[in-house]
Amino acid sequence: MSRFSSYFLMNTDDVIDYVKEKLTIFREDAELTCKEIGDGNLNYVFRVVDEKHGNSVIIKQAGHTARISDEFKLSTDRIRIESNVLLLQDKLSPGLVPTVLLFDDVMSCCAMEDLSDYTIMRTALLNHETFPAFADHITTFMVNNLLLTSDVVMEHKAKKELVKQYINTELCEITEDLVYTEPFYDNNNRNELTPGNEEWIKSTIYDDEDLKLETAKLKFSFMNNAQALLHGDLHTGSIFIKNDRTKVIDPEFAFYGPMGYDVGNVIANLFFAWANGNANENKNFTEWIEKTIEEVVDQFKEKFSYKWDQEVTELTAKQAGFKEWYLGEVLADTAAVTGLELTRRIIGLAKVKDITSISDPDKRIEAERICLTAAIRFMKQRSQFTEGKDFVAAFKEAEKMVKGLKVM
């Protein structure tokens, strides 16, 4: 009987045995080595290499708790969601996700293409590298996966079946707590404020009752608007990149939610890269980020509108003016989520290296205040953001406001 017929958390030796038993990609005389390379918050990621012939594979396994903290008890069903979503996204946006080779329901793991000739985009951006094709790739990914899984295009009963298939209770709860709730309230012990920024955050975020009304509305929209099958965690740590190629990974937070959640995550994480470049006074890099943010928003709009005209099946969605209204709502959600993601990564539990690696304390405080000042505007005035340049302008104005003020 196979030792993999009931679940256990594997170590590197187990993973070598596992690939020998379950996969046919390695030769008889392969010399396999294995390393755990995961640096995400939830799962274990193993890279298995045949040192003799050079081929390799990734095995990703889910544990019963999050890697970042045992406080999060999680169903291992997230690996089913991730594997199935990757297979679906590969059909909807070919070439933009890794190939899944195997999904194992018993061991709660999957095998997928090794992308070790790519770099995690957040790491590359921390080195201030630039990627001219990124806006084109990520907007194709988002438009195809979001629009083609929505009621605008899909037969409604088939869409509702997908909604059922991708109910993602526990990971949605993480987002509801970490993104939509905790960063705005001073009464939980998971927020971590940067020393020197506590009072500013209290008066600017925790004490802003109007802001908390808006984030309450946004939370209920996230929980109740089953608009499209989202990636659900589309930050720059979920993207592998090289010069002319982009691959989106890690869709374990996928579920049916508002499209703007994905677009806003991309934009917010580009702004974090901007904040890092700004703190390190790299103007070429910050200008590339500004251009890329504009392109992401404007190419998203353009491709969305074009694809809508090609693919729309729902009679009422063909009504004159409906497409423009719908896209306007998606952009308002995008702005709001840009603000939410900017806020939660600074105040909440799950931080980003773009900010935490700024070693000069005054510069880090300044970077955080720029992000949060822009974030408030993105959340409160979300319907005013209709073009790429609006997003960048809000950030540049926030920078002026913060730099005009003396850092406490």
From ligand SR1, Mg ion, none, interface partner of 174 (C-beta below 5 to 8 A by class): ligand SR1
Residue among 42, 36, 262, 243 at smallest CA distance from 142:
262
Q: Which stretch binds Mg ion (CB under 5 A): 33-41, 201-209, 287-295, 309-317?
A: 33-41
Would you tell me the crossing angle of helices 260-279 and 134-147 to the nearest 10 degrees?
A: 160
Among 17, 36, 41, 181, binds ligand SR1 (CB under 6 A): 41
DSSP 98: P
Chain residue whose CB lies nearest ligand SR1: 41
In the complex, minimum distance from the CB of residue 184 to ligand SR1, in angstroms, rounded to a whole number:
15
Give the strand pairing for 109-112 and 100-104.
Answer: antiparallel
- With CB under 6 A as the contact rule, the residue among 33, 39, 55, 68 that binds ligand SR1 is 68
Using the rule CB under 6 A, which residue among 82, 182, 214, 233 binds ligand SR1? 233
Q: Is 359 exposed, middle or buried (0-12, 13-18, 19+ CB in 10 A)?
A: exposed
Number of residues that bind ligand SR1 (CB under 6 A): 11
Question: Whole-angstrom Cα distance, residue 230 to residue 175?
Answer: 13
Q: Which of 96, 125, 142, 178 binds ligand SR1 (CB under 6 A)?
A: 178
Q: What angle do CA 205, 209, 210 make, to 5 degrees?
A: 100
- Candidate ranges 38-46, 100-108, 186-194, 207-215; the one touching ligand SR1 (CB under 6 A): 38-46
Choose the one of Mg ion, ligand SR1, none that binds residue 163, judging by a C-beta under 5 to 8 angstroms depending on kind.
none
Q: Which does 178 bind (CB under 5 to 8 A by kind): ligand SR1, Mg ion, none?
A: ligand SR1
Q: Report the C-alpha gap between 195 and 208 in whole angstroms.
A: 21
The least distance separating ligand SR1 from the CB of residue 172, rounded to whole angstroms, comes to 11
Residue 339, contacted partner among ligand SR1, Mg ion, none, CB below 5-8 A by kind = none
Distance CA 186, CA 46 (A): 38
Candidates 31-39, 65-73, 284-292, 310-318: pick the segment binding ligand SR1 (CB under 6 A): 65-73
328 torsion bin: left (phi>0), alpha (psi -120 to 50), beta (else): alpha
For the CB of residue 238, give the shortest distance to Mg ion in the complex, in Å: 5
Angle (CA) 145 138 111, round 5°: 70
Count helices and strands (H / E) in the chain.
14, 10
- Kindly tell me which of 197 and 238 has the beta carbon lying closer to ligand SR1: 238
- Residues forming contacts to Mg ion in the complex (CB under 5 A) are 40, 250
